[in-house]
Chains A and B, each alone.
Chain A
């Protein structure tokens, strides 16, 4: 395969937008699940997938699952499309920031 030619063929922004938004969704899911596992006893015990690691195992496994599922769905929908990236990029960055904030215990305590 001629990689130079392949890398200069125009490519819509859809696949990139799908990857970026899915990463934002995955980061937010991580923060959200971490808070839920901390605050809700039933979720805490349900996320205990691997006892030596405790709820961390379930929280991170579920977040990775949400991230990859969102990525697969968005990739299927946007792979050949040109999308309005400004809103998608902003949403991804907001979700990323929320994900980081939700993992910070003093912030999670406020909820």
Chain B
């Protein structure tokens, strides 16, 4: 059982930071709504508030890690130019997708959208985390502010969802492969 370094980084970027962020996002939306929008919510304790603050800061860190590893580690491998005359494009995902009209849309629409829209997630969630850090339970006294913050968290879920979905589909159609091989389990020969 083995994996290449490029596959490993793609997994860390997508399934590690990205998927974890998406899962955390739904939790944050429920918690923000329950605490600050629901009419019958009990007054949160100082410990509850600290938990939400740490949770949102961790989400912001995950979002930044996801876009930075994606843009500066995985994406350069995705867009590596093949040498002139190369016929096997499997190690050059961008050019592999663009080589056929049946797959070029995966790059021209999906990758082009994913690479930019993903950056809205860390901007939106960092803002939400800072507002919750500043206001805490006082956010309940500012309904328009808390509703707008919730809209931004929804937008960050949308942006991360688009990036995650297209990332998975792109990796299925033209996986980022190559680099050193890491042996995970060495099976004995029979």
Give me the interface of A with B, judged by CB distance under 8 Å.
3-4, 7-11, 13, 15-17, 19-20, 22-23, 26-27, 30-31, 34, 50, 52-54, 56-57, 59-60, 63-64, 67, 85-86, 89, 92-93, 96, 99-100, 103-106
B54 within 8 A of A: no
Give me the interface of B with A, judged by CB distance under 8 Å.
46, 49-50, 67, 71-72, 75-76, 79, 108-109, 112-113, 115-117, 119-120, 123-124, 126-127, 130-131, 134-139, 141-142, 144-145, 147-149, 151-152, 155, 158-159
* A8 lies within 8 A of B138 (CB): yes
When distances are taken between beta carbons in the complex, the residues of chain B under 8 Å from A50 are 72
* A25 → chain B closest CB, angstroms: 10
* A33 → chain B closest CB, angstroms: 9
Partner of A106, one of B109, B130, B138: B109
Q: A27-B120, A89-B145 are in contact. Are A56 and B71 (CB under 8 A)?
A: yes
Complex Cα–Cα for A22 and B138 (A) = 21
* B76 → chain A closest CB, angstroms: 3
Q: A19-B131, A93-B151, A96-B120 are in contact. Are A53 and B71 (CB under 8 A)?
A: yes
When distances are taken between beta carbons in the complex, the residues of chain A under 8 Å from B134 are 11, 15-16, 19
* B124 lies within 8 A of A27 (CB): yes
Question: 28 A–B contact pairs at CB < 8 A?
Answer: A3-B49, A3-B136, A7-B46, A7-B138, A10-B138, A16-B134, A16-B139, A17-B145, A19-B127, A20-B148, A27-B155, A50-B72, A52-B79, A53-B71, A54-B79, A56-B75, A56-B116, A60-B116, A60-B119, A67-B123, A89-B148, A99-B120, A100-B120, A100-B159, A103-B120, A104-B117, A105-B112, A105-B113
Partner of A103, one of B49, B67, B117: B117
> CB-nearest residue of chain A relative to B108?
A105
Shortest 7 CB-CB distances between A and B: which pairs?
Answer: A52-B76, A7-B136, A23-B127, A103-B116, A89-B148, A16-B145, A103-B117
Complex Cα–Cα for A80 and B79 (A) = 47
* A22 lies within 8 A of B145 (CB): no
Q: A27-B124, A63-B123 are in contact. List 8 more A-B contacts (CB 8 A).
A: A19-B127, A20-B131, A23-B126, A52-B79, A60-B67, A96-B120, A103-B120, A105-B112
* A100 lies within 8 A of B142 (CB): no
